[in-house]
Amino acid sequence: MRMWTKLAIAGAMLVPFAGGVALAEAEPDEAIKYRKAVMQAIGGHTKASAAIITGKAGTAEDLKKHAPALYMSAMTALEAFRQNTHGQGAEKTTATEAIWTDWAGFEGKMENLVVAARNLASAAEAGNAGGEQLKALGGTCKACHDDYRTK
């Protein structure tokens, strides 16, 4: 069984237990810090994957680890934004109010991120990940950042 498939199954098995955790609202600053950590994980694994795919660093075996980690992080991203922290707390954030006023649009773009990350993980596991998957992933990041992040 492919590594990302195993990770997805493991993640799905945790869903019944996640409900209780998701119900608790964090202090706004803590919610923002958590959200930033999730997005930094996505960014870090994306940068590492790009370095490998472009031949600048790392190996195909490394990509088989980074791509599934990116996918798993992407699967947590939407939930990390569910708590509306706009105008709350002292922690700096580039998240705009549009995330919560256009939740359906934001949710759709985050779903696109998950699909693109899954496609990259699948291609990495098969040994044929390349610029096409990376470009698609980058496009999902840009689409969200253009509409839901301050410049």
- Residues forming the annotated binding site for heme c? 141, 144-145
| CB within 8 Å of 39: residues ≥ 6 apart | 77, 80
Q: How far apart are CA 130 and CA 64, in angstroms?
A: 12
* Binding-site residue positions: 141, 144-145
